[in-house]
Amino acid sequence: MKNIFCFLLLGLISLNVSAQDAKAKAILDKVSAINKEYKSIKAEFTFSMDNEEEDIHEISEGSIILKENKYKLQLMGVDTYFDGTTQYSHIIDAEEVSIKEPDEDEDEALNPAKIFSIYENGFTYKYVNEVSEKGKKLHVIDLFPTDEERGFTHIRLKIDQATNQISALKSVGKDGNDVSIILKKLTPNVTLTDKDFVFDTAANPDVDINDMR
């Protein structure tokens, strides 16, 4: 900096950011610890995609089941299964399912199976503020990707102070597409089997299979 005043101001800002990071990490660690105790999770949510410049505003209801690194996501007419290795994307109206093994290098920032622990790798974080919405007090935390090639500038989390659960998530896209997820209901420790995360081809004989493995 060009003078001592600016240097001291920068130092104060740096100290404040460091404190915010510590507060954010403490909260995120609680969220992660609680959800790692669950053997499985079932959640219902509202999904929206907005692009102000293109005047695009889409909203849809969805649900997901999670167990370890497996999931089944139901959203916008597509059922997506992931058994830990293979992904099945069933487009219901088209009666078509695509099968592939996801590339490890693919962007997994919003991988449903990692929503409760995404901050642990590839992100810095900052405590923003505290807000009240619908009678709930929420922590607001921003996650910033360390990889500048990611397609979003940051992810904003809202965390319920009473339950230490993620209440909402918003990914701010560099292309103007902002994706938001609002959690409506979360049920832990539901009974699930490995078959719940694999598309049943035998039960759907009329579906076209596009195997890209």
Starting from the edge strand earliest in sequence, which strands make up the sheet with 152-160, in order? Answer: 123-133, 136-145, 152-160, 165-173, 178-188, 41-51, 56-67, 70-75, 78-82, 87-91, 96-100, 208-211
- Whole-number pLDDT of residue 148: 85
**Segment 91-138, tens digit of pLDDT:** 999 999 999 988 765 545 446 666 667 777 788 889 999 999 989 999
Q: Please give the chain's pLDDT, 213 residues, in tens.
A: 445 444 544 444 445 555 668 899 999 989 888 888 899 999 999 989 999 888 989 999 999 999 988 999 999 999 999 998 999 999 999 999 999 988 765 545 446 666 667 777 788 889 999 999 989 999 999 989 888 888 889 989 999 999 999 899 898 999 999 989 898 999 999 999 999 999 998 888 889 999 988
4-211: which CATH architecture? Answer: Clam (2.50)
**Predicted TM-score of the model (pTM):** 0.81
